[in-house]
Structure 1
Amino acid sequence: MASLVGEFVEKLVEGALREVLKKTTGRTTTRRRKRQARSATTGRFVRKKTTAARKPARKQVSKRRTAAKRSKQRSR
């Protein structure tokens, strides 16, 4: 009787483990594919021309006036 219960519990745990492991085997989201561009004249697939690399943004500079500029503005 005890071996029957032990076997039942063992099968139950084994089944649950298998179920959990089955679900966690690297599921990733599907990627959407972009449509390929076709040539207007020939109708064949054409590689898109790559644009030039963009320049990085300019470093922000403080716009605070210097003492000389403030005094010049005060005199106006």
Structure 2
Amino acid sequence: MANLMNELVSGVVESVLKEILKKAGGRTATKRQRRQTRSATTGRFKKAPATKAKPAKKQVSRRRTAASRSKTS
């Protein structure tokens, strides 16, 4: 009987600890879509003009917030 109680209590404690330590990570904002423009003559969607690739920007060190440090990837 004591063994059964011990097993029950340890199971509950384990599940509670798991729930507490679990982090809700990987939340990213949804990607916004632009509205497509239609051609005045045919009424079909216009193809977006190809944009020239810009050179990469130099990386800047930014201070991380406590919220971003606590997130898990």
> Which TM-score band applies after superposition, normalised by the shorter structure?
0.3 to 0.5
Higher relative contact order (CA 8 A, sep 6+): 2
TM norm structure 1: 0.43
Higher share of residues assigned helix? 1
Return the index of the structure with the highest Cα Rg: 1
TM norm structure 2: 0.44
